Amino acid sequence: MRREYIKYLVWVVCVTIWMTLCFIAPDFIDNPHDSVRSVLTIGAYLCALGTASLWIIYIAGLNKYIAFISIPLLGIGGAVVSYYRVAFHATITPMIIDATLHTNGGTIAGVVSWQLIGWIVLNITVAIGFCVWRRGLKTPTYAWLHAIIGVILLFTYYTMNGRLRSSINQRYPYNVVHNLIEYKQQQVQLNSNRITLPYTAKELPDSIDVVFVLGEAARADHLQLNGYERETTPLLAARKNIVSFPHIYSEATYTSTSVPVILSPADSLHPTYSGSHTSFIHIMNECGFRSAWISNQDNGRTYVSFIHEADTIIFPNASKSVFVFDPWYDEQLLPPLDSLTARSTARNLYVLHTIGSHWYYNLHVPEAYFRFTPATTERVITNNTEEQIINSYDNTIAYMDVVLDSLIQRLENRCAILIYLSDHGEALGEGGVYLHAAETEALHLPACVVWYSDKYAKAYPDKTEALIRNKDKRYRTDFLYHSILSAAGIETEGNCPEMNIFR
């Protein structure tokens, strides 16, 4: 009987290898690597992810009839997911699910090719072969006990490490379930009723453009504007009407918790407001602004309701995710903005959510803008030198400088105000900590820069003078809600003047 059980384990391992190589490995085709160590690390990573699939196959294969259904279905789904990952550098996201559910048959037919059909047929054939193989195997004794043990091992493996779990959730077949759940949760958020805080609109200009650039992982101490020794923001430094705030504090250190606080009236006294109240977008809509959300990131569940307050929503890179190592740049936000400003109304609000300084840094900076070298060459951050990491990170800040300057060029002849605020900072190896979603000082100190046009200064001299006076004060990121409304001529009611950089 032991020999028969070993045969079953061999079958499980072979099915796992097939799934890992055909459906998970394609996620790593564009991973940067520059050494044997890096290749070995990616190989170990693949093994770790494949193990997460092994437990599913082990449990499903205990009953040959369940195996006859599940293995071909896994083969069909994996073939589709892996094909689009390779052919279009696209991965499953809640936005892709939403687009698929609301796309007509003609559009779907346009992305079906003979290569896709061939890849599906090949993997169905392999899956049927595994089913035939399984048919000739004996079912392990006490299969129910094996199933219980398998579920326990699966749960233990899935929950034992947060970073591994996050990666598993973005790999087949877990990514299908995870993103469907995320999509469903987003729909619940969109259908929730929210409260709008009282406000007074008494200084609304006849014409104004308010631009909020939501940054990603940009830390204040790496801006030349704030005294950093490198020329990371030379274009902004050469402009007038630029005010940098070097002492902004972010309580949260990752996007999903920091962004809701920035957009909503939530603060340290009212932390639940991010889940129960509307954002400044809704209020500005009520005051006659035409609003647009243009994003280089995804529909975050914690702030998706705020996104959908905007009149226009544009995602130039809806099929991308931070788990896809494929270039995408914040300059891609500018053409949609140009299209909107060409038919702009008297009062406009534009929110641009950037990919900014998110890892892998090099992928978010066109090579022509690499100012500091040598840059990183390895996907695994610790396989790079400290110099490479800082150089690549500083290149993202220098590229941010280019993007913001391009925005200002589009606005300088208008009555316009632009506020840039990063969601949090980034760790670059201090104390052995890298990236974000951890706990170190650099993560709590995001970059913040404000620019205003001459026409805006003429219309609001008191606000611009207060802005300059307040630049060295300390604020938390929850200042944004009250400040951006004030910048637009809308004052929130209540005791919050200390949260307004324009007062």
Dump the DSSP string for 367-402: GGG--SSSPP--SSGGGS-HHHHHHHHHHHHHHHHH
Q: At what angle do helices 36-61 and 64-88 cross, to 10 degrees?
A: 150
Burial class (CB in 10 A: 0-12, 13-18, 19+), 408: buried
Is beta strand 208-215 parallel, antiparallel or unpaired with respect to 416-422? parallel
CA distances from 358 to 46, 316, 424 (A): 23, 17, 11
DSSP letter, residue 422? E
205/202 Cα distance (integer angstroms): 9
Q: Which two tokens stand for residue 497?
A: 């003047």
- The residue among 173, 170, 396 whose CA lies nearest residue 298 is 170
29/42 Cα distance (integer angstroms): 11
DSSP H or E run through 295: strand 290-295
358/216 Cα distance (integer angstroms): 6
Cα radius of gyration rounded to whole Å, the chain:
25
Measured CA angle at 454 (ends 452, 460), to 5 deg:
70
CA distances from 156 to 12, 58, 144 (A): 19, 15, 18
77/72 Cα distance (integer angstroms): 9
Domains of the chain, first to last: 2-190 (no CATH), 201-499 (3.40.720.10)
List the alpha helices (DSSP H) in 110-263: 114-135, 143-159, 162-168, 174-190, 234-237, 255-263
Query: Model's pTM, two decimal places?
Result: 0.88
Query: What averages of pLDDT result for each successive group of 10 residues across the chain (503 residues)?
Result: 89 97 90 78 90 95 95 96 87 80 63 89 97 94 93 94 88 93 86 88 87 98 97 97 97 92 91 93 96 92 94 89 82 96 87 96 95 92 93 98 98 96 95 85 95 96 96 95 95 77 93
Q: At which residue do the structure tokens 């499953």 appear?
A: 92
Q: List residues bridging with 353 in a β-sheet.
A: 214, 295
Q: Which two tokens stand for residue 337?
A: 């903005």
Q: Which two tokens stand for residue 182?
A: 């995320």
Q: List residues bridging with 201 in a β-sheet.
A: 490
The whole-number pLDDT of residue 461 equals 95
